[in-house]
Structures are given as C-alpha cells and as structure tokens.
C-alpha cells in the first residue's frame, strides 16, 4: 500500500511559513506476491515436452532356440545398414538371394518405396505379411537404425526383427562400398 507522510515539519519558532513536503513510500509486497502467484500458475499449467520413444519388443535371451518357427525365405527381406546413410536389401538367403542385393537410400523414393512394393507382392503371393530382418553393421549409425524403424512404421510393417550381421553380408557391403 502507498503511504503519505503528513506529519508537520516541526515548528521551531517564527519566521517564514513553509509548505509541508509530503514524502511517499510505495509498499511492493502485494506486487511481489502477485508475481510469484503468476509464476507458480504458469509453471503448473504448462505441459512439458513428452518423451518420444518407440516401443520395441525384444526376444528373451534365454530362449533363443525354443519356440522358433521356420520362416519361408520368399517372405523374408533382409536390410543391411551400411555407412553414408545407405542400406542394402535382398529377398531370401544371403548365399542364394531371390532378388539381387540392391543399394538404396532412405526416404519415399528409396527404401520406403521398395518396402511398399515388396510387401504388397508378398501379401498377394502368400496372403501373409512380409518379414523384415534388420542387420546393422559396425559402420552404421544410431540415426540409420531409428530411420529404418520409422520407415517400417510408415509402411505399417509389423513383422520385423533386429539381428546380427554375418560376415557374408559384411562382404556384400564392402563390395558395394558402403561399409
């Protein structure tokens, strides 16, 4: 609250009549209280950025050989993650692939287009979804892994696995200069 000092200036005797000088004092306690209330209100009502996480279901390490079903190679696409944001893919087994290994990049004209086309072919041929095996190499980056998982989410592929890369597949990457 503001206060005005209206006390007299003290009378010492005769002389000139002087006007009283009023001194003002502003109490800022209410303003500080209001500021803290506003800060508290805005802190409590804002939402923090929600963490972005991708759900990933990994198999149990103890049960590697139990409950494994044979997978037909006609439904299996293998994606090898190389360096320089490049991937190499093939259908079937690495020793005798059904399609020749092909190097592509990410994006709608790269691996996404291939995933859509091959997924539709497998679905038309077998009536089941395509199984995608993702094999990151030691030269690939975490960004590449996240990007390929995003691509699989975009094309709505639900059958996927992250597995170790074999020496034969590393030789494929070296042959195509993406290792």
pLDDT at 88: 93
pLDDT at 135: 93
Q: State the first-to-last Cα distance of the chain, in angstroms, to the nearest integer.
A: 75
What region, left, alpha or beta, does residue 76 occupy, with left being phi > 0 and alpha being psi -120 to 50 degrees? beta
Identify the DSSP state of 95: S
Q: Confirm whether 104 is domain-assigned.
A: yes
Q: Confirm whether 5 is domain-assigned.
A: no
- Give the burial string for 67-101 (b: 16+ CB within 10 Å, else e): eeeeeeeebbbbbbbbeebbbbbbbbebeebeeeb
Q: Confirm whether 43 is domain-assigned.
A: no
Q: Confirm whether 15 is domain-assigned.
A: no
Q: Confirm whether 76 is domain-assigned.
A: yes
- Domain ranges, residue 133: 72-175
Q: Assess contact for 82 and 137: CB atoms under 8 A.
A: yes
Q: Confirm whether 21 is domain-assigned.
A: no
DSSP-derived 3-state class of residue 157:
coil
Spatial separation of the C-alpha atoms in residues 159 and 157, rounded to whole Å: 6
Angle between helices 111-126 and 142-154 (to 10 degrees): 50
Does this model's pTM top 0.75? no
**pLDDT: which is higher, 87 or 11:** 87
pLDDT in tens, 82-133: 998 899 999 988 888 888 899 999 988 999 999 999 999 999 998 888 999 9
pLDDT at 11: 57
Name the token pair of 2: 């503001």
Q: Assess contact for 151 and 112: CB atoms under 8 A.
A: yes
The CA dihedral of 163, 168, 174, 179, to the nearest 10 degrees, is 20
Q: Confirm whether 33 is domain-assigned.
A: no
**CATH at 141:** 3.30.420
Q: Confirm whether 122 is domain-assigned.
A: yes
Is residue 8 scored above 70 in pLDDT? no
What's the number of domains the chain is made of?
A: 1
């Amino acid at each position: 609250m503001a206060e005005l000092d209206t006390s007299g200036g003290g009378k010492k005797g005769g002389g000139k009549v002087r006007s009283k000088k009023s001194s003002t004092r502003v109490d800022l306690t209410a303003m500080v209280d209001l500021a803290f209330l506003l800060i508290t209100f805005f802190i409590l009502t804002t939402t923090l950025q929600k963490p972005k996480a991708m759900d990933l279901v990994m198999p149990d390490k103890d049960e590697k050989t139990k409950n494994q079903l044979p997978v037909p190679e006609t439904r299996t696409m293998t994606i090898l993650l190389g360096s320089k944001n490049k991937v190499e893919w093939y259908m079937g087994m690495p020793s005798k692939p059904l399609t020749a290994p092909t190097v592509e990049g990410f994006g709608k004209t790269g691996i996404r287009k291939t995933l859509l086309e091959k997924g539709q072919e497998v679905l038309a041929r077998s009536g089941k979804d395509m199984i995608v095996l993702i094999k990151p190499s030691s030269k690939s980056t975490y960004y590449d892994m996240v990007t390929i998982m995003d691509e699989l989410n975009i094309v709505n592929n639900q059958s996927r696995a992250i597995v170790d890369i074999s020496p034969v597949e590393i030789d494929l990457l070296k042959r195509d200069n993406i290792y």
